């Protein structure tokens, strides 16, 4: 089970199979043809980081079924360490049906009631593996409840004790939670334990109770060392605890599918922070990392699916050589 060397980045949470409608601009109820693709936000980030040259590992649970086989093979084939990936003979691998609007935005329908990823238990974690990592990353889907919630909170405590950098992509899926109040409370509780937090504009507004973008950023930045707010194609803004903030523009591309864009962005950002954690507190060093993260997100919109669209280091380099680093 032990990898050849400690991983730099551990991503913990769900690995799901995305079934993406081939025809754009068709509602999910009218879609006929679907393309299978490995997915799940933490799994996507692990693959995205691995393609950028980071030694990444995935910690999660999938079913002992054909879709679980596909996910494990996809992650391992992308260079992700899957030695701490668990298989569940009692619960199936989760599925996500995805349809695409004409502009590449998505509609989701999840089949995970329940699914194997929700049953990762704290006793199935390898604390030494978690403590040896430089960065621990997770999302909020694993925090909804059950064993996976306890495993996620345990992992945050272990990583914190080891002084690892803890990263959270809020990535809210409100229909997975009992209600908005529980979703807000669960996300805020995890956010307060993480040094790096990424939210969208809508998520920022939701978490701060609709106080407005500037006020919301002011409220949340005090709970973490780096708050990053993504603005879609317009780029991303950063907010530091001392009040310093700024915006890094995005890249204009013709999006085919935005499914993996946010995860590609996170992978690009964490790949940079894993090499230079000091950039957390220094805008001059942080801005180039966000520029590369924006480029990763833009590149991921040019192909269908999440994992198949995540860029390699070579693709990122070529893109930046054309569009400017």
* φ/ψ bin of 324: left (φ > 0), alpha (ψ from -120 to 50), beta (otherwise): left
Angstrom distances, CA of residue 273 to CA of 108, 134, 140, 170: 31, 9, 21, 18
SS3 179: coil
Q: What angle do CA 235, 239, 243 make, to 5 degrees?
A: 145
Angstrom distances, CA of residue 172 to CA of 218, 253, 316: 20, 25, 27
Residue 257: closest CA among 44, 42, 11, 10: 44
Angstrom distances, CA of residue 32 to CA of 99, 160, 175, 290, 302: 10, 46, 24, 38, 22
Please pick, among 30, 242, 263, 276, the residue that the annotation labels catalytic: 263
**Crossing angle between the packed helical segments 283-300 and 313-323, to the nearest 10 degrees:** 110
Is there a cis peptide before residue 56, judged by omega within 30 degrees of 0?
Answer: no
Residue 256: closest CA among 108, 109, 102, 28: 102
Q: Annotated catalytic, 263?
A: yes
E strand intervals along the chain: 9-12, 16-21, 34-39, 56-63, 85-88, 95-100, 106-111, 135-139, 165-169, 196-200, 226-230, 235-239, 245-249
What are the catalytic residues? 263
């Amino acid at each position: 089970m032990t990898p050849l060397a400690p991983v730099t980045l551990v991503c913990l949470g769900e690995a799901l199979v995305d079934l993406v409608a081939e025809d754009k601009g068709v509602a999910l109820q009218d879609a006929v043809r679907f393309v299978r693709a490995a997915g799940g936000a933490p799994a996507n980030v692990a693959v995205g980081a691995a393609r950028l040259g980071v030694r990444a590992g995935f910690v999660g649970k999938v079913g002992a079924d054909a879709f679980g086989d596909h996910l494990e093979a996809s992650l391992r084939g992308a260079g992700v360490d899957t030695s701490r990936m668990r298989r569940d003979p009692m619960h199936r691998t989760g599925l996500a049906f995805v349809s695409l609007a004409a502009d590449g935005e998505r509609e989701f329908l999840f089949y995970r009631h329940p699914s194997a990823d929700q049953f990762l238990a704290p006793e199935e974690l390898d604390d030494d593996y978690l403590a040896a990592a430089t960065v621990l990353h997770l999302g909020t889907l694993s925090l909804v409840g059950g064993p996976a919630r306890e495993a996620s909170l345990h992992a945050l405590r272990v990583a914190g004790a080891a002084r690892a950098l803890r990263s959270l992509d809020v990535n809210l899926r409100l229909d997975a939670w009992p209600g908005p109040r529980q979703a807000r409370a669960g996300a805020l509780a995890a956010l307060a334990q993480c040094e790096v937090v990424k939210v969208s504009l809508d998520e920022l507004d939701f978490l701060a109770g609709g106080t407005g973008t500037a006020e919301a950023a002011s409220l949340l930045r005090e709970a973490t060392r780096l708050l990053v707010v993504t603005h879609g194609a317009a780029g991303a803004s950063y907010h530091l605890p001392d009040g310093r903030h700024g915006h890094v523009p995005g890249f204009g591309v013709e999006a085919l599918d935005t499914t993996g864009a946010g995860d590609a962005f996170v992978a690009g950002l964490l790949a940079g922070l894993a090499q230079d954690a000091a950039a957390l507190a220094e805008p001059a060093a942080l801005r180039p990392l966000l520029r590369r993260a924006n480029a990763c997100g833009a590149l991921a919109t040019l192909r269908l699916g999440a994992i198949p669209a995540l860029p390699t280091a070579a693709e990122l380099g070529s893109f930046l050589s054309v569009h400017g680093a």
